[in-house]
Amino acid sequence: MTVLSRRDLLKGAAAASATAILTLNGAVFAAGGDRIGVALIGCGGRGTGAALDCLTADPSVEIVALADLFKDRLESCLKQLRESPFANRIKVTENTCFIGFDAYQKAVAANQAMLVIEACPPHFRPLHVKAAIEAGKHVFMEKPAGVDPAGIRSLLATADLADSKGLSITAGTQRRHQAHYIETIRRIADGQIGQIRSATCFWNGADMLGYWQWYEKNNLSGMEWQCRNWPWYTWLSGDHIVEQHVHNLDVVNWAINGHPISAMGMGGRQLRTLGNIYDHFAVDFEYADGVRVTSMCRQINGCSDRVCEYIIGTTGVAYLDGSNGRIEGAKPWTFTGQGENPYVQEHKDLIAGIRSGKPLNEARHVAESTMTAILGRMSAYTGNALKWDWAMKSSKLDYTPEKYEFIDIPEPQVAIPGKTKLV
């Protein structure tokens, strides 16, 4: 450890102004060799993956605390971390493993942690990120940023707080850290497809059962059953348009440099019988200046799959997907460079921001992209067309349950357009 202990640093930081913290952080990291203690909240597959990505990103990273709703999930995560090449940087002790709905509070308070990785079901994101920022921790949070307008409003307030405290909130919309995306969007901003006039984006892929475990009810309480099967419940995941398709909507918002002003969406359940989410959505978004965006997402096996974005400008079309970026039209171009693994790169960028005293705060971007998806979902569920401003300012939709405890709760209903009320 360095001369300045983590405890001293945090103690000092709590007393100092935001500016002072920046300088202090900068000074510490400039000196090099300091440890970056990480508390992981949400020890599922993605949380474990994010921890490993963070460990890969920088040799200073140490995992110091773990939190999850479920003991078995936490234990399997810890086992995986201890069996990884980074075993010597897993500094988790019995005293820094926390279980239950309040585990996050203990994790963000862990003195050894200066960075919190929040990878819980999206429902909990706004609450947990707020707690982490209030505790003075930098944050890496998975996408999406929430599941309802109430959560998005909370996260936006937290984004302001993070700025005022000089803290980072980096998000798991990893395309923003992927070389071919960055370069293509840079060229779009540079006018190489002219003015953007429309866009279309897709996440048409397989059913989640192919890559996520469905837990049977057995003797689980309703709450535990739903939380374990969180991707299938709107109140927990936001539905797949929010949970998964947010990636593509984020690219579109990034390219357009804005968010939609209205949305009209449709969706339904053609095959899905689990939980209460849909299995397909299509949304017509209107952006400023008459720019129109089509969003389509589907989780049905055996269909034509595509995951990509088309950005259409007055002089060209940009095409983007997970592996390539290219421009067709007046200034044709194809990305030929090499890129780092974006899941690692996002942690490198986060840590570089902390070290340079210029914390990377992506919370607003991901909050807007998440809200874009929420707007589409709300429209599809109710059959209403929606304005962004109304949803942001006036919608009372808030999926927070009365109590966070493992009791029997009713099975949520599947939305029926024309019947499900807009709130």
Partner 1 sequence: MKQISFSRRDFLKSTAAVSAAAVISQAGAVYAAGPEKIRLALVGCGGRGNGALSDCINAAKYLNIPVEIVALADHFKDRALKTAEQHGLSPDICFDGPAGYKKVMESIADVVLLVTPPAFRPTQFEAAINAGKHVFMEKPVAVDAPGARKIMEVGEIAKQKKLCVVAGTQRRYAANYRKTKFAIEQGALGPILGGAVYWCGGKLWHQERRDGESDADYMVRNWVSFTEMSGDHIVEQHIHNIDIANWFIGRTPKLAIGFGGRARRKTGNQFDFFNVDFDYDEGCRIHSMCRQVNGCYNQVSELFTGSNGTTYGSGPVKLIKAVDIKYPDYEQANGSEMVQEHVELLRGIIDGKPINAAKDVAESTLTAIMGRISAYTGQLVRWRDLTDASSNSPWYNLKLTPGSEEFENGTVKAPADDVIAIPGQA
Binding site for partner 1 (CB under 8 A): 194-195, 197-200, 202, 204, 264, 266-271, 280-282, 284, 289-292, 294, 296, 298, 300-304, 306, 310, 312-314, 316-317, 328-329, 379, 382-385, 416-419
For partner 1, give the closer residue by CB, 101 or 319.
319
CA distances from 356 to 9, 364, 371 (A): 17, 21, 30
CB atoms within 10 A of CB 288: 11
Q: Report the residue number, 109 or 264, with the smaller CB distance to partner 1.
A: 264
∠ at Cα 247 (200, 264), nearest 5°?
50
**How far does the chain reach from its first CA to its final CA, in angstroms?**
52
Q: Minimum CB separation from partner 1 for residue 379, in Å?
A: 8
Residue 270 vs residues 19, 26, 117, 301: alpha-carbon distances, Å: 54, 53, 35, 11
Closer to partner 1 by Cβ: residue 127 or 199:
199
Is the CB of 102 or the CB of 389 nearer to partner 1?
389
Taking the complex as a whole, the smallest distance from the CB of residue 234 to partner 1 amounts, in Å, to 16
Minimal distance, residue 415 CB to partner 1, in Å: 9
Residue 304: CB minimum distance to partner 1, A:
4
Beta-sheet strands, E only, within 147-236: 169-171, 196-205
3-state secondary structure of 200: strand
Residue 97, CA distances (Å) to 61, 106, 154 in order: 18, 9, 27
Which is closer to partner 1, CB of 202 or CB of 343?
Answer: 202
**Contact between 293 and 200 (Cβ < 8 Å):** yes
C-beta of 292: minimal distance to partner 1 in Å? 5
Q: Cα torsion for 373, 376, 378, 381, to the nearest 10°?
A: -120
Q: Which is nearer to partner 1, 204 or 341 (CB)?
A: 204
Assess contact for 42 and 68: CB atoms under 8 A. Answer: yes
Smallest gap from residue 300 Cβ to partner 1 (A): 5
- Tell me the sheet residues that pair with 36: 61
CB of residue 250 to partner 1, shortest distance in Å:
19
CB nearer partner 1, residue 110 or residue 311: 311
